[in-house]
Amino acid sequence: MTDAFEHRVLIMAPTARDRELTAALLSEEGIDSCVCVDVDEICAEYERGAGCIILTQEAVLQDDRQCLHDLLEDQPAWSDVPVILLTPPTADHSFILKRLEMVGHMTMIKRPVQYGNFISTIRAALRDRKRQYKIRAHLADREDQAQALQQAVEKANAANVAKSDFLANMSHEIRTPMNAILGLSSILARSQPLTSLQTKYIETLNQSSESLLMLINDLLDIAKIEASGIEIKSIPFRLDLLLREIADMMASKAEEKSLNLSLDLDHIQGRSFLGDPARIRQIVTNLCSNAIKFTVQGHVTIIVTSKDKTGDLCEVAISITNSGMGISPEKLSKIFDKFTQADNTISRKFGGTGLGLAISRTLAELMNGSISVTSDIDKGSCFVLQLPLMDNPHMASEQPSMPRLAEVYRASGKVLLVEDFEANVLVAHTLLEQFGYEVDHAENGRIAVEKAKKCRYAAILMDVQMPVLDGYSATRMIRQNEAEAGDVPTPIIGVTAHAMAGMRDRCIQAGMNDFISKPFVASELQKKLGNVHRAE
Ligand code: ADP
């Protein structure tokens, strides 16, 4: 139905004379009307729009084909056309009501009609109808708004996914040359002789690339958080060992500033929990490095307390306190916002992006925990990471490990380096030679598969993303060839510049034994390859 004639009254009076008289009456009152001779015509006119229908009881009773019934029943949800039913003085109302029970909006007027009553009933019906049209317009607006909102949400989601993809790709592209910078600077640092100035240049080069890498990692985390792509794990781990490791890692930085770094693990000594050690490490490392960064002299203290709750649940609180500059109350509420630093001069003086605390708090919340802070200006700050952790009485404290290289090792001094990026070939080649290996090189997966058929390598260092044939497919083919030939599998270590979760699983699924992410430090690669030697 269109709303072209939404104010029009459709009339079906008992006789032609009645119809004309009614039309003339309405016209005098300024009401637009349309005279219909039977039910079919009412139905046809209704399709063009109607403000109100005046019907007679006879018409309803004669509606054998149920046209009127169907028309009134089919009305849209927002609409219920007012019907004024003219009945003879002795009408059987209950019978008529039964025929018209589908009409929600009916008023009966006995004939002969009272002029005033009749007109005011029509006006009331038209007013009702007007309100219905207003509601329809309102609903249509709401629907448009909801649709626009939905489109905006879809667009924003798509933009977010595109942004995350972009960041993941950029991070891969940046990590790849970064591996060369870090690798070559560590190779240079070990080359002799070096003047003290050259050593300083190399150290600065190294520090700058490490800061750049930290920035990329932070940006990637933010992107993952915004795209809800962070997965929290629940695996067995020893919290005391994890915190000791972090403290050991931080010790040299604290020492450089002559700070006293202490660790109190009494409450959780020897206890194993279920949780996400990688994420807890990330938060605690961030809080500790901030504590060291913002302390000029004095101490940094890490204290862990625990409270057993119902069942196996334990509430662990890791507090990191530092003497130092402190944070003013007005800045305290802002430091957890992205890209916010308590003092704008900080980034120049101490470095940092203002992302660490925002990431840490979100990660803590994803683990159903929280981070709180108290601080006194010129006295120091205390950050507390509170986490509910499940006790793991079965002490499977080691993380599920990769298939041990040791089990599959074949002694030989040649490593196949599969890598397409020339600068990284130079880094890995040099490092491998320094470790004492002979090195063979393949610049893509296909060549690697061919080489692995002909030679029995001590290990294969397999980049996962390469042209022609990627590292996953190459590994699958190598494993298949080995199975067909009945050969002992060659240890394959996947190398990837992707920092996304799930890379480790992808490598294992493809048949690799271990995995290292770029940029790697020399000792890390040596350790991975060293596992092989220990088993000899
Ligand atoms: P970043 O350290 O990269 O600047 P964070 O998000 O980790 O970013 O920290 C945000 C800001 O909070 C810091 O720039 C600093 O102003 C303040 N802040 C964090 N930890 C401390 C601390 N232990 N003592 C004093 N200020 C701190």
> Is 365 within 8 Å of 311 (Cβ atoms)?
no
Phi, psi for residue 249 in degrees, rounded to 5: -65, -35
Q: Are 402 and 529 in contact (CB under 8 A)?
A: no
Distance (angstroms) between ligand 1 centre and the Cα of 350 equals 9
CA–centroid distance, residue 299 to ligand 1 (Å): 17
Averaged confidence pLDDT in the chain: 85
Question: What per-residue confidence (pLDDT) applies to 344?
Answer: 58
- Ligand 1 center from residue 358 Cα (angstroms): 10
Q: In angstroms, rounded to a whole number, what is the distance separating the alpha carbons of residues 80 and 76?
A: 8
Q: Is the pLDDT of residue 398 over 70?
A: no
pLDDT, residue 483, reads 92
Ligand 1 atom nearest residue 218's Cα: 3
Our answer on whether the CB atom of 380 is closer than 6 Å to any ligand 1 atom is no
User: pLDDT band at residue 410, thresholds of 50, 70 and 90?
Assistant: very low
State residue 403's pLDDT score.
Answer: 39
Phi and psi dihedrals of 437, rounded to 5?
Answer: -90, 155
User: Hey, which of 335, 359, 372, 373 would you mutate to test ligand 1's pocket, going by the most ligand atoms within 8 Å of its Cβ?
Assistant: 335
Segment 233-284, tens digit of pLDDT: 898 999 999 999 899 888 888 998 999 999 999 989 999 999 999 899 989 9
Cα 354 to middle of ligand 1, angstroms: 7
Q: pLDDT tens-digit profile of 475-485?
A: 999 999 999 99
Among 222, 284, 341, say which to mutate for ligand 1: greatest number of ligand atoms within 8 Å of CB: 341
Cα 85 to averaged position of ligand 1 atoms, centre (Å): 78
User: Looking at residue 3, what is its pLDDT?
Assistant: 61
Judge whether residue 359 has pLDDT over 60: yes
- Is the C-beta atom of 82 inside 6 A of ligand 1? no
Ligand 1 near 215 CB (within 6 A): no
Q: Name which residue sits closest to atom 4 of ligand 1, judged by CA.
A: 354
Paired with 273 in beta bridges are 237, 391
pLDDT at position 501, please?
Answer: 61
Whole-angstrom CA distances from 525 to 435, 515, 529 are 10, 10, 6
- Predicted local distance difference test score (pLDDT) of residue 29: 92
- Under the banding of pLDDT at 50, 70 and 90, the label for residue 395 is low
Tokens found for residue 40: 């079919």
- Ligand 1 center–CA 329 separation, angstroms: 14
Ligand 1 site-directed mutation target among 214, 290, 332, 375, most atoms within 8 Å of CB: 290
For the residues of 137-168, what is the DSSP string, one character each? HHHHHHHHHHHHHHHHHHHHHHHHHHHHHHHH
Please indicate whether residue 335, judged by its CB atom, sits closer than 6 Å to ligand 1.
yes
Cα distances from 98 to residues 55, 92, 101, in angstroms, run 16, 10, 5
Pocket of ligand 1 contains residue 320 by CB under 6 Å: no
Q: What is the pLDDT of residue 215?
A: 79
Cα dihedral 496, 498, 504, 508, rounded to 10, equals -50
Per-residue model confidence (pLDDT) at position 303: 96
The pLDDT, as a whole number, for residue 373 is 96
Whether ligand 1 lies within 6 angstroms of the CB of 23 is answered as: no
CA of 341 to the centre of ligand 1 (A): 6
Question: 533 pLDDT exceeds 60?
Answer: no
For ligand 1, is residue 41 a contact (CB within 6 Å)?
no
The ligand 1 atom nearest the CA atom of 341: 14
- Averaged pLDDT, 495-513: 82
Instruction: Yes or no: say if 386 and 317 are a contact pair by the CB < 8 Å rule.
Output: yes
Q: Band the pLDDT of 36: cuts 50, 70, 90.
A: very high
Tokens found for residue 4: 């072209």
Give the model's pLDDT for residue 227. Answer: 66
Evaluate if residue 17 carries a pLDDT over 50: yes
Q: Which atom of ligand 1 is nearest to the CA of 354?
A: 8
Closest C-alpha to ligand 1, atom 2:
352
Q: Cα(137)–Cα(158) distance, rounded to whole angstroms?
A: 31
Q: What pLDDT score does 534 carry?
A: 34
DSSP one-letter string for 90-156: T--HHHHHHHTTT-SSEEEEESSPPHHHHHHHHHHHHHHHHHHHHHHHHHHHHHHHHHHHHHHHHHH
DSSP-derived 3-state class of residue 398: coil
The CA angle 325-329-333, to the nearest 5 degrees, is 110
- Structure-block tokens of residue 517: 């992410």
Segment 39-87, tens digit of pLDDT = 889 989 998 889 999 988 888 777 888 888 888 888 887 788 999 988 8
Asked if residue 324 has its Cβ within 6 Å of ligand 1, the reply is yes
Q: Tell me how far apart the alpha carbons of residues 389 and 385 are, in angstroms, rounded to a whole number.
A: 12
CA of 357 to the centre of ligand 1 (A): 7
Token reading at 336: 């957890």
| Ligand 1 close to Cβ of residue 295 (< 6 A) | no
Read out DSSP for 172-218? HHHHHHHHHHHHHHHHHHHSS---HHHHHHHHHHHHHHHHHHHHHHH
